[in-house]
Amino acid sequence: MPDPYDILTVAAMTDELNATIGNGRIQRIGLLDSRTIGAEIYTGGQRHHLIASADDRSPRLRLAPEMPSLDSALVTPFGLLLRKHVRGGLILGIDQPPLERLVRFSIAKRQNPLKTPESLRSPVSDISADADDDDDEGDDESREGVEIRHVTLYVELMGRHSNLILVDDDGRIMESAKRVTPAMSRVRQVLPRLPYIPPPPPDRLDPRSISVAEATRFLAGVAPDADLARVLVSHYRGISPLMAREIVYQISGRTGVRGNDVPPQDGEALAGAIRQLFDSLATTSWGPRIYRERGGDEPGSVVTFAPVPMTHLAAAYGEEETASVSTALALAEGVRTSDGPGQVRHAQRRQRLLAAVTSAREKAERRLAALANQSLRAAEAERLKTRGEFIYQFLWQIEPGQRELVTEGETIALDPALSASENAQSYFERYRKAQSAEAQLPGLANESRAEIAYLDQLATLIAQAPGFSELEALSAEWADLDSSQTRTRPRRKSAPKRPRALIDAAGNSVYVGRSGTQNDLLTFEIAGPDDTWLHARGVGGSHVVIRWRTPDTPEHEDTIAAAAALASWYSAARSSGAVEVDVARRRHVRKLKGAKPGMVTYRNERTIRVQPAPEERLRDVLLER
């Protein structure tokens, strides 16, 4: 599912939070994982539960039906500061800056009071007077000398740039879920003691004030073969891809429209569609919906969510109104809000596992970037050798304590504490080390790329794991590979569970791997040399195998198409309109030496393009053939 947190969702969520937990007291707060916080807020005689996450793959902000299971063993500077400055605080305000995917929580909390005799009550002693306090602040709250400390928690919901940032009353960053160093971003650093600077706004037009004349000029300037929805996203601030497709559908009756399909005369319709979509920001009239796959007696899988009705989604999927934005977001995330604490904890386990894999991937990316820098330095090894040779050539000219040698247009730095001969030897030694490093760098870089590919596959499988057993198998796979876990004794490994087959009308079996070890089982044990192997091209995901009932007969193209739809569904490209899937005979698939589970190489493949589809949609189709 694409990132659902566009500006409309953030605005709808802000309104819901204001109506539900505004003026509430934060009784409990802690970390679910290093980038996700959970909180219990008491207001109006009720407890409410909040989740906010800066996870790269699944940023979110919503209310939860149960208190999230906090990870008490996870101690970070950000978590400690939340406990000190936010727990026990009163939520004074929740707001969204205009056209930003950002929510600000303004929080006031009493600091430890001075130990003075009780006298006049504090003028702010009514803060959280209706809340049952489980903090350890005691009755000192009503004494003289109480200091009120104001902080702001910024929840930035911007895909992989999402963050949770705690800022003091002077506007300086106290700590964040993700630190952003100058090496990571030259535009905006997020580090303690730096002033908080909001995300820089894109250089685009404000769509809220669009006129018919402006819309007409916009349509006249769109290239004939340009995707109109993409041009809207790049031209106007705050219009997400989902919103752009809705605007295009309202003026043309379909999506996938090109510039030459909409004449400039439709400027009035375009301006009206944009204004209608943005009216919700002013009227706060929300109608959250989820959209499900159609077909079958059981409810289909949730495809996406919208805070207001979307006609282009209703035309393609089953539309279902929900009671709140949080409910819709939870369903879109795959968390059934009617489930009990066990299912909630299961969803949290998924998020913790994803966070661990994401952290490992970031380390691998940093290692790969460091290797690239070393490669650039290693490429200059010949210059080190040349400098050493120059020093030997002009040995007789170098005086003791000399700091540089200038010859043939080059300035060679010298260490004045070393003799001329020792300076030359120093350059030669650096040359030999650079040569040695250069020989090892390609192999190390390939190892890092392979690790990143494996972690992408693992993250996709975790995000799409349908049940407890699949998630536990992936957790065990990760535990076997996670070097950060210390164990007193080796983990007992269990054989991967054989997946259930989907049978077509001719008796051919289609299998889908749901973990790296299960991918290996399918490909190298269940599948024979003449069976067919499929995988989404260039992205992480499941192996899909067709075990032919009669391998010596030609392949059934309709079964291959159905299996390819499954391979694209169980991949990181699930939310794409069409996905390229590689198809090869199993005998052309090889496991890489020393590779992680499920990592293979293959040849003699052909590539087909299909629409992703789940098993529920394909089961009846396969049986009909």
Q: Sign (positive/negative) of CA torsion 9, 14, 15, 16?
A: positive
Distance of alpha carbon 309 from alpha carbon 329, whole angstroms: 14
Q: Which two tokens stand for residue 103?
A: 């929510």
Q: Are 567 and 625 in contact (CB under 8 A)?
A: no
Distance of alpha carbon 238 from alpha carbon 202, whole angstroms: 9
Q: What is the DSSP string of 462-515?
A: HHH--SHHHHHHHHHHHHHH-TT---SSPPPP-PPPPPPPEE-TTS-EEEE--S
Per-residue buried b or exposed e for 540-551, using 16+ beta carbons within 10 Å of the residue's own CB = bbbbbbbbbeeb
Other beta carbons within 10 Å of 589: 22
Q: Is the pLDDT of residue 119 over 90?
A: no
> What is the amino acid identity at position 241?
P
Q: Is the pLDDT of residue 519 over 50?
A: yes
pLDDT of residue 383: 79
Question: Which pLDDT band, with edges at 50, 70 and 90, does 469 fall under?
Answer: confident
Q: Is the pLDDT of residue 244 over 50?
A: yes
pLDDT of residue 622: 63
- Domains delineated in the chain: 7-176 (2.30.310.10), 207-333 (1.10.8), 343-464 (1.10.287), 502-624 (no CATH)
446 vs 64, higher pLDDT: 64
pLDDT of residue 10: 95
Classify residue 317 by its DSSP letter.
S
pLDDT of residue 124: 41
Question: Assign residue 144 a region: left if phi > 0, alpha if psi is -120 to 50, beta otherwise?
Answer: beta
Per-residue buried b or exposed e for 44-60, using 16+ beta carbons within 10 Å of the residue's own CB = eeebbbbbbbbbbbbbb
Query: Which H/E stretch holds residue 9?
Result: helix 7-21
pLDDT of residue 127: 39
- Pure H helices in 165-300: 212-221, 228-235, 241-252, 267-283
pLDDT of residue 535: 95
pLDDT of residue 468: 72
Mean pLDDT taken over the chain: 84
Q: Are 441 and 375 in contact (CB under 8 A)?
A: yes
Q: Is the pLDDT of residue 295 over 70?
A: no
Model confidence pLDDT, tens digit, residues 249-264: 999 998 888 988 899 9
pLDDT of residue 437: 67
Distance of alpha carbon 429 from alpha carbon 418, whole angstroms: 14
Model confidence pLDDT, tens digit, residues 270-279: 999 999 999 8
Q: Are 544 and 510 in contact (CB under 8 A)?
A: yes
Model confidence pLDDT, tens digit, residues 408-438: 778 888 988 898 889 989 988 888 877 776 6
> What is the amino acid identity at position 426?
S
116 vs 383, higher pLDDT: 383
Q: Which two tokens stand for residue 53?
A: 């996450």
Distance of alpha carbon 48 from alpha carbon 67, whole angstroms: 8
Q: Which residue bears the tokens 């009503």?
A: 142
Q: Which two tokens stand for residue 538?
A: 């260039």
- Chain CA centroid to CA 65, Å: 23
pLDDT of residue 346: 61
Please state the pTM of the whole predicted model.
0.59
Of the candidate ranges 154-158, 214-218, 357-361, 463-467, the one whose mean pLDDT is the lowest: 463-467
Query: Which H/E stretch holds residue 40?
Result: strand 36-43
pLDDT of residue 463: 82
Torsion, Cα of 67, 73, 74, 80 (10° steps):
80
pLDDT of residue 561: 92
pLDDT of residue 492: 55
